[in-house]
């Protein structure tokens, strides 16, 4: 390698890098800023009609009433718990959901149990509407609350031993209610997710 060629190579690379940076800055200021952000510091955006590109960007879209997008005012929460359904007994567990709030769930029982997924509308205390009923060892699903109220499961155990139900849920709820026969109703706060 001839003496000084390494130095000349470095100078050539440095000069090419500097020219590329200057060219990129010129393109940024004269084309990208006016077309993408509506900023026109040197007037090229107006001269070449690039500001029209920025102005023609799609306007915001507001979700339609009835979906399929249902914005919520709070973060979703996650809940996981084990519930014991006593032998020849029952329990009921429901989440407090507002109208349009979503609930995704999976529950598994250690033995078959009768279940009833139903709701109690806040506007009609004591009323109830069943959406699914049967016998199962597990169920998974997605539910959208048709109205404000409490929404969840009644499990009845006809076995001669206790059954454990493992419930996992995610949704727009902050509270749950547990009903156990011959015991006071228990309100359970569901804490926010850790970030």
Q: Give the 3-state secondary structure of 113-165.
A: EEEEEEEEECCCCCCCEEEEEEEEEEEEEEEECCCCEEEEEEEECCCCCCEEE
Q: Tokens 């033995």 map to which residue?
A: 111
What is the model's pLDDT at position 146?
92
How far is the C-alpha of 97 from the C-alpha of 154, rounded, in Å?
17
Contact 75, 192 (CB under 8 A): yes
Alpha-carbon separation of residue 19 from 6, 8, 9, 13, 14 (angstroms): 20, 16, 15, 10, 9
Strand extents, DSSP E, 11-86? 77-85
Contact 95, 153 (CB under 8 A): no
Contact 159, 81 (CB under 8 A): no
pLDDT by residue for the chain (195 residues), tens only, comes to 555 577 778 888 888 888 888 888 888 888 888 888 888 888 888 888 887 877 777 677 887 887 788 788 889 999 999 999 999 999 999 999 998 899 999 999 999 999 999 999 998 878 899 999 999 999 999 999 999 999 999 999 999 999 999 999 999 999 999 999 999 999 999 999 887
CATH of 77-189 given 3.40.50.970, 2.60.120.680, 1.20.810.10, 2.30.29.30? 2.60.120.680
DSSP state of 4: T
How many CA atoms within 13 Å lie on the side-chain side of 45? 19
How far is the C-alpha of 118 from the C-alpha of 151, rounded, in Å?
6
DSSP state of 71: -
- Overall pTM > 0.75: no
Provide φ and ψ at 123, rounded to 5°. Answer: -75, -15
Contact 51, 45 (CB under 8 A): yes
Domain coordinates in residue numbering, the chain = 5-55, 77-189
What is the model's pLDDT at position 8?
79
């Amino acid at each position: 390698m001839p003496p000084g060629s390494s130095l000349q190579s470095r100078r050539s690379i440095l000069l090419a890098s500097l020219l590329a940076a200057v060219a990129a800055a010129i393109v940024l200021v004269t084309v990208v800023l006016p077309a993408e952000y509506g900023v026109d510091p040197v007037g090229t955006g107006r001269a070449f009609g690039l500001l029209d590109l920025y102005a023609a960007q799609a306007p915001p879209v507001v979700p339609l009433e009835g979906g399929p997008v249902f914005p919520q005012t709070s973060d979703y929460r996650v809940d996981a718990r084990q519930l014991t359904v006593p032998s020849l007994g029952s329990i009921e567990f429901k989440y407090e959901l507002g109208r349009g709030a979503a609930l995704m769930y999976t529950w598994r029982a250690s033995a078959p149990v009768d279940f009833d997924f139903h709701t109690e509308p806040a506007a009609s205390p004591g009323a109830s509407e069943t959406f699914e009923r049967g016998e199962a060892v597990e169920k998974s699903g997605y539910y959208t609350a048709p109205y404000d109220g409490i929404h969840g499961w009644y499990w009845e155990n006809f076995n001669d031993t206790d059954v454990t139900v493992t419930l996992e849920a995610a949704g727009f709820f902050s509270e749950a209610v547990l009903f156990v026969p011959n015991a006071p109703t228990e309100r359970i706060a569901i804490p926010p997710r850790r970030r």
